[in-house]
Chains A and B, each alone.
Chain A
Amino acid sequence: MDHPDEPTAEIALTLNGEPIRARVPLRQNLVDWLRHGQGLTGSHVGCEHGVCGACHVQVDGRVVRGCLMLAVQADGARVETIEGATETGRIRALQDAFFNRAALQCGFCTPGMLLQAAELLATNPAPTRTEIREALSGNYCRCTGYHAIVDAVEAAAAVLRA
Chain B
Amino acid sequence: MNETLPDDGWIGRSLPRAATRRLVEGRGRYLDDHAAKGELHAAFLRSPFPHAAFRISDREAARTLPGVRAVLTAEDLVPACRSWRTQSLAFAGLVSPVQGPLARERAVYQGEPVALVLAASRAIAEDALELIGIDWDELPAATDPVAALEPDAPAVHQGLPSNLAWRTEFGGGDVEAAFARAALVVEDRLVFTRHTGVPLESRGALASYDPAAEALEVRLSHQIPHQMQVHLAELLDLPMGRVRVIAGDVGGGFGIKMHVYPDEVAICAASRLLRRPVRWVSDRIEALMADIHAREHVMRARMAVDAEGRILAFDVDDIQGLGAYSVYPRSSTVEAISALRTVGAPYRFDAYRARLRSVLQNKVPTGQYRSVGHPIGCATTERLVDLAAAARGEDPLEFRRRNLLREAELPWTNPAGGRMAELSHTATLAEFERLLDLPSLRAEIAAMRAQGRLVGLGFAAVVEYTASGPGAYGPAGIPVSAVDTVVVQLEPGGDVIARASVAEIGQGIQQGIVQVVADAVGVSPSRITIHTGDTGNAPHGGGAWASRGAGIGGEAAWGAGRKLRAEILGAAASLLQTTPEALDLRDGQVVDATGTPRLALADLAATVFFRGHELPGGLQPQFTATHQFRREEDVFLTTNGLQASLVEVDPDTGLVTPLRHWVVGDCGRRLNPLLVDEQVRGGVVQGIGEALLEACRYDPGNGQLLTGTLADYLLPMADNAPDITVGHVETPYSGSALGAKGAGEAGTCGAPAAVLCAVNDALAARGAAVTEMPITPAVVLRALGTLP
How many residues of B are in contact with the other chain, CB < 8 A?
61
In the bound complex, what is the Cα–Cα distance between A64 and B716 (angstroms)?
21
Q: Which residue of A has the minimal Cβ distance to B511?
A: A102
Is A144's CB under 8 angstroms from B20's CB? Answer: no
- Shortest B739–chain A CB gap in Å is 22
Say whether B198 faces chain A, with CB atoms less than 8 Å apart.
Answer: yes
Residue of A nearest to B21 (CB): A99
Q: Which of B178-186, B502-510, B586-594 contacts A (4 or more CB under 8 A)?
A: B502-510
In the assembled complex, A157 has its CB within 8 A of some CB on chain B = no
A161 at the interface (CB under 8 A from B): no
A83-115 interface with B by 8 A CB criterion: 83, 86, 95, 98-102, 104-111, 114
- A140 and B20 in contact (CB under 8 A), knowing A105-B508, A106-B249, A106-B251? no
B710–A49 contact, CB under 8 A?
A: yes
Q: Mark A123-162, 1 if CB is under 8 A from B, else 0.
A: 0000001001110111111111111111000000000000
Taking the complex as formed, is A19 at the interface, i.e. its CB lies under 8 A from any CB of chain B?
A: no
Establish whether residues B250 and A106, one from each chain, have CB atoms under 8 Å apart when the complex forms: yes
Give A102 Cβ to nearest chain B Cβ, in Å: 5
From residue A158, how far is it (CB to closest CB) to chain B in Å?
A: 18
State which of B200, B675, B711, B720 has its C-beta within 8 Å of the C-beta of A141: B200
Cβ of B29 under 8 Å from chain A: yes
CB < 8 Å neighbour of B25 from A5, A6, A86, A109? A86
Segment with Cβ contacts to A, from B118-126, B152-160, B415-423, B518-526: B118-126
Q: Determine if A98 and B200 form an interchain contact, defined as CB atoms under 8 angstroms apart.
A: no
Q: A3-B121, A105-B507, A108-B251 are in contact. Are A99 and B20 (CB under 8 A)?
A: yes
Tell me whether A144 and B33 are in contact in the complex, defined as CB-CB below 8 angstroms, given that A49-B709, A86-B25 are known contacts. Answer: no
A100 touches B16 (CB 8 A): yes
Q: Which residues of A contact B747 (CB under 8 A)?
A: 145
Q: Does A54 contact B (CB under 8 A)?
A: yes
CB-contact partner of A140 in B250, B675, B715, under 8 A: B715
* Shortest distance from the beta carbon of B283 to any chain A beta carbon, whole Å: 6
The listed residue (A47, A139, A143) touching B718 by CB distance below 8 A is A139
The reply to whether the CB of B472 lies closer than 8 angstroms to some CB of chain A is: no
Would B24 and A25 count as touching, CB distance under 8 A?
no
Per the bound structure, the CA–CA distance linking A98 and B674 in Å amounts to 13
Q: For residue B26, give the distance in angstroms from its CB to the closest CB of chain A.
A: 2
Could you tell me which residues of chain B, from 390 to 411, have a CB within 8 Å of some CB in chain A?
A: none
A114 to chain B: which residues have CB within 8 Å?
24
Note all chain B residues with C-beta closer than 8 A to A95: 24-25
Is B235 an interface position by the 8 A CB rule?
A: no
Check A104–B20 contact: CB distance below 8 A.
yes
- Cα–Cα, bound, A26→B334 (Å): 48
| Contact yes or no, B26 A144, CB < 8 A | no
Q: If the complex has contacts A86-B26, A108-B251, A139-B718, are A47 and B710 also in contact, measured as CB distance less than 8 A? A: yes
Q: For B26, list chain A residues within 8 Å (CB).
A: 40-43, 81-83, 86, 110-111
Main secondary structure of the interface of A (DSSP, over half): loop
Residues of A within 8 A of B723 (CB): 129, 147, 150
Q: Is A48 an interface residue (CB 8 A)?
A: yes
**Using Cβ atoms and an 8 Å threshold, which residues of chain B touch A27?**
123
Out of B20, B66, B120, B254, name the residue touching A2 (CB < 8 Å): B120
Which residues of chain A are near B755, meaning CB under 8 Å?
none
Which size class do A's interface residues fall under? Answer: 35 or more
Q: Given the complex of chains A and B, what is the CA–CA distance between A76 and B756 in angstroms?
A: 53
A44, B204: Cα distance in complex, Å: 14
Task: Enumerate chain A residues within 8 angstroms of B251, measured Cβ to Cβ.
Answer: 44, 106-108
Q: State in angstroms the CA–CA spacing of A140 and B254 once bound together.
A: 15
Q: Return chain A residues, CB-CB under 8 Å to B711.
A: 49, 51
* A52 interfacial contact with B, CB 8 Å: yes
Task: Tell me the bound Cα distance from A111 to B22 in angstroms.
Answer: 11
Residues of B within 8 A of A108 (CB): 28, 30, 199-201, 251-252
The reply on A45 being an interface residue by CB < 8 A is yes
**Nearest chain B CB to A46's CB is how many angstroms away?**
5
Chain A residues contacting B306 (CB-CB under 8 Å) are none
CA distance A51 to B66 in the complex (A): 33
Given contacts A45-B32, A47-B710, A145-B684, contact A137 B678 (CB under 8 A): no
- Residues facing A in B542-557 (CB within 8 A) are none
Interface centre among B22, B252, B711, by most A CB within 10 Å? B252
Cβ–Cβ < 8 Å partners of A1 in chain B: 120-124
B678, A148: Cβ atoms closer than 8 Å: yes
Fill in one digit per residue for A1-33: 1 if any B CB lies within 8 Å of its CB, else 0: 111111000000000000000000101100000
Q: Which residues of B contact A109 (CB under 8 A)?
A: 200
A149→B718 CA distance, assembly (Å): 9
Q: Does B724 contact A (CB under 8 A)?
A: yes
Which residues on the B side are within 8 Å of A132 (C-beta)?
Answer: 718
**Contact string against A for B residues 189-215, beta-carbon threshold 8 Å, 1 for contact and 0 otherwise:** 000000001111110000000000000
Q: Mark B689-716, 1 if CB is under 8 A from A, else 0.
A: 0000000000000000000011100011
B9-27 vs A, CB cutoff 8 Å, 1 = contact: the mask equals 0000000110011111111
B284 close to chain A: CB less than 8 A: yes
Q: How far, in angstroms, from A20 to B400 measured CA to CA in the complex?
A: 66
Q: Which residues of A contact B200 (CB under 8 A)?
A: 44, 46, 52, 54, 106, 108-109, 140-142
* Shortest distance between the CB of A80 and any CB in chain B (Å): 11
Minimal beta-carbon separation of A145 from chain B (angstroms): 3
The CA-CA distance from A148 to B24 in the complex, in Å, is: 14
- In the complex formed, the residue of B with least CB distance to A134 is B719
Q: Given contacts A3-B124, A54-B200, is CB(A146)–CB(B66) below 8 Å? A: no
Is the CB–CB distance between A145 and B28 below 8 Å?
no
CB-CB nearest in chain B for A150: B718
Q: List chain B residues, Cβ under 8 A from A106.
A: 23, 199-201, 249-252, 505-506
Q: Chain B contacts of A148 at CB under 8 A?
A: 678, 681
Q: A47-B710, A82-B25, A147-B721 are in contact. Are A105 and B678 (CB under 8 A)?
A: yes
Shortest C-beta distance, B687 to chain A (Å), equals: 9
B628 at the interface (CB under 8 A from A): no
Contact of A105 with B123 in the complex, beta carbons under 8 Å: no
Residues in B neighbouring A48, C-beta threshold 8 A: 283-284
B67 within 8 A of partner (CB): yes
Closest to B689 in A: A142
Q: How far is the CB of A88 from chain B (nearest CB, A)?
A: 12
A-B CB proximity, top 6 nearest? A42-B26, A107-B23, A106-B506, A145-B685, A82-B26, A108-B251
Extra pairs beyond A5-B66, A142-B686 (10, CB < 8 Å): A1-B121, A42-B28, A44-B201, A48-B284, A95-B25, A98-B24, A102-B678, A105-B508, A140-B200, A142-B197
A-B pairs with beta carbons under 8 Å apart, 18 shown: A35-B32, A40-B26, A42-B27, A43-B26, A46-B284, A105-B507, A106-B249, A108-B199, A108-B201, A108-B251, A109-B200, A111-B26, A134-B718, A136-B717, A137-B719, A143-B678, A145-B685, A145-B721
